[in-house]
Amino acid sequence: MLSELANRVFNRAIEDYHQFDEIDYPIANPYPAQVLEHLLYLKCWIDTVQWHMEDVVRNPNIDSKEGLYWKRRIDKQNQLRTDTVEFIDSYFLDKYKNITLLPNATINTESPAWAIDRLSILCLKIYHMREEAVRRTATELHRNESNNKLTILLAQQKDLSTSIDELIDDIEHGKKYMKVYKQMKMYNDPNLNPILYKQ
């Protein structure tokens, strides 16, 4: 099952990152470049790094210049995240290019990779909520509330995993087909952002 593979790889990436817990620590992807696991690990590593960048920039005492520095880094990281999602979709497009569609085949509301993107973020939420649920410096109320939220996140992970597996099964059997649109983020393009091209 794809979701089982993805969750396992995501959890490994998160655990590997937190061995050092440094935003600029170099990635050491344990999977060969030609397999899906490589892209999944890369995707979750990017998400994990961005998660911690988002923590830093929300410091209410951050200097404005430093805040701008982190905001720009987050923008670059988000573009990298989007590019990696599109690489994952390219993998699936190639894998299922010869599937014969059923006459009543339909398109899904999102591509497999964008659903996988949500699963990666969900694994991060679960990891950090689990930390909060056992944090000794927090109040018992905080730990209990965090544990209740963790229960909901785990249910969400189960549901999303099931939905991803059902989507892949439908694609494999010609019930659904993939149609991928590039994100075309205009604010990052110097030819499309008026603030940039008017300079």
Name, in order, each residue with C-beta under 8 angstroms of 194's C-beta and a sequence gap of 6 or more. none
| 172 membership: H or E segment, kind and range | helix 140-172
pLDDT score recorded for residue 145: 96
Report pLDDT digits (tens) over 125-150: 999 999 999 999 999 999 999 999 99
Confidence of residue 181 (pLDDT cuts 50, 70, 90): confident
Q: CA 183 to CA 32: how far, in whole Å?
A: 27
CA-nearest of 144, 139, 116 to 40 is: 116
Contact 119, 153 (CB under 8 A): no
Report pLDDT digits (tens) over 7-30: 999 999 999 999 999 999 999 999
Work out the angle between the directed axes of helices 112-133 and 36-57 (0-180°, nearest 10). 50
Helices (H) and strands (E) in the chain, counts: 6, 2
Report pLDDT digits (tens) over 44-76: 999 999 999 999 999 999 999 999 999 999 999
pLDDT score recorded for residue 186: 65
- pTM (2 decimals)? 0.90
